Amino acid sequence: MNPYRTVAYYTLGCKLNFSETSAISRLFEDGGYAKVDFEERPDIFVINTCSVTDNADKKCRYLVRKARKVNPNAFIIMLGCYAQLKPKEISEIEGVNMVLGANDKFNVIEHLEKIEENNSATVVLNESIKQTKDFYPAFSSGERTRSFLKVQDGCDYFCSFCTIPLARGKSRNASISNTLLELDKLKNTGVKEIVLTGVNIGDFGQGKDENFFELVKALDEVSFIERFRISSIEPNLLSNEIIDFVLNKSKRFVPHFHIPLQSGSDYLLKKMRRKYDTSLYTNRVNFIKSIKPDCCIGVDVIVGYPGETYHEFQKTYEYLKDLDVSYLHVFTYSERANTTAIKLGEKVPMNVRKKRSQDLQSLSERKKRLFYQQHVQSNQTVLFENTIDNDYITGFTENYIKVKIKDKPDIINSLKNVFLKEMHSDGVMLCE
């Protein structure tokens, strides 16, 4: 029996990682371990890693050093995408005790219990990603208002810039009926909103008997959840029938889509091995806006991809400037090992990448402000969250406008109809 009884967690990367960290924390809780904060000298640190960008790799090393300062005698466990892709590299970080790949992270307690007290060697358990075939359900907890529900994992796409298929394996999911059973665990938690998450959620069912549209319709009948929100979904998998259902027929899905674009240049989209072009993307946006003009649309875009000349970047900038979308998530391209993109040559200098990123960030701010301004002096339904900032409680409208209201503790975790007065200097909408 190991001597460890308290655990702290740190999650890097996407909301999928957050849902999985929550699932792993519940495994520890069921095993008799107590969850504590990172700074409370825990016996065990669990760091759920990401490997989307180079910064995430550096952050892993920083967190190990930080954990060692908090408790030099702690047992440090690294798991997640970076742990799957670079197990040897992580195992050589001073202070790391255990490295678990994709196939072993949900068996962390079993592996921990096998460790002998005096064993100082780093334990590395990392199978080929081809062996990762099971789907492990997960949902985030701890936030009373909303939960991120994992409905899918892995990806069958091999975009030239992405390591995720190598880190998470092939696309897979539970059945719709089992997904509903997992959701049922949130029935008495008070959660009002569910955000559907995964690596490529639109690929749910992989074209077999069940699909994402069928899942959406089934979830829409779950009466104990007030709101469902779709996280990121590929434009080629966001069908018109899904859009029409969400915006015209659904009782619970909110008017908000986050649709990755990555580039406004068809030349670069082809080099990225994306499964659509700008024409299809434009059609999706136009169809959404034709049904519901105030629907919120978020966009992922990458700058500095190999071969992105000034001309190609301008195509992206002008395309996005004219597109009726609400905000951008801008990613500066980062070279990743074992991707085809690093073999393309035609590197964009880092200073140029950063400048282009800043240009698109500025564009995003202008688009977001315009979207918000269009809703001033309107009535909206807001889910207020358990967040108090300088005497304000914040929340989000159905179409993802962040609002704040003077401290009213009684409205936390409730849906309220409010009047949007004006935009505050911090970019948040004031309401009453």
pLDDT of res. 121: 84
- 392 and 360 assigned to the same domain: no
- Quick one: 321 and 402 in the same domain? no
- Name the CA dihedral angle for 406, 407, 410, 413, rounded to a multiple of 10 degrees: 80
Q: What is the pLDDT of residue 389?
A: 73
Half-sphere exposure of 122 (CA within 13 A, CB side): 19
pLDDT at 387: 74
Are 361 and 384 members of one domain? Answer: no
Domain assignment of residue 117, given as a range: 6-127
Same-domain check for residues 78 and 220 = no
Q: Are residues 167 and 253 in the same domain?
A: yes
Contact between residue 430 and residue 403 where contact means Cβ atoms under 8 Å apart: yes
- State which of 74, 108, 127 marks the end of a domain: 127
> Look-up: residue for tokens 């950063």?
354
Residues 192 and 151 in one domain: yes
Tell me how far apart the alpha carbons of residues 416 and 397 are, in angstroms, rounded to a whole number: 9
- State whether 193 and 234 are in the same domain: yes
Q: What pLDDT score does 380 carry?
A: 98
* Cα torsion angle, 143, 147, 152, 156, sign: negative
Looking only at the bridges linking them, the beta strands covering 44-49 and 6-11 are parallel
- Let me know whether 263 and 356 are in one domain: yes
Query: pLDDT tens for residues 3-38?
Result: 779 999 999 988 999 999 999 999 999 999 999 999
Establish if 291 belongs to a structural domain.
Answer: yes
Name the one residue in this structure whose structure tokens are 């030349």: 267
Query: What pLDDT does residue 142 have?
Result: 73
**pLDDT tens digit string along 258-299?**
999 999 999 999 999 999 999 999 999 999 999 999 999 999
Sheet holding 138-139, edge to edge: 138-139, 146-150, 193-197, 227-230
Q: Do 303 and 418 belong to one domain?
A: no
Q: For the chain, which residues score pLDDT lower than 50? A: none
171 and 109 in a single domain? The answer is no
Asked whether residue 1 is domain-assigned, the answer is no
pLDDT at 355 (0 to 100): 98
What is the reported pTM? 0.93
Sign of CA dihedral 409, 413, 418, 423: positive
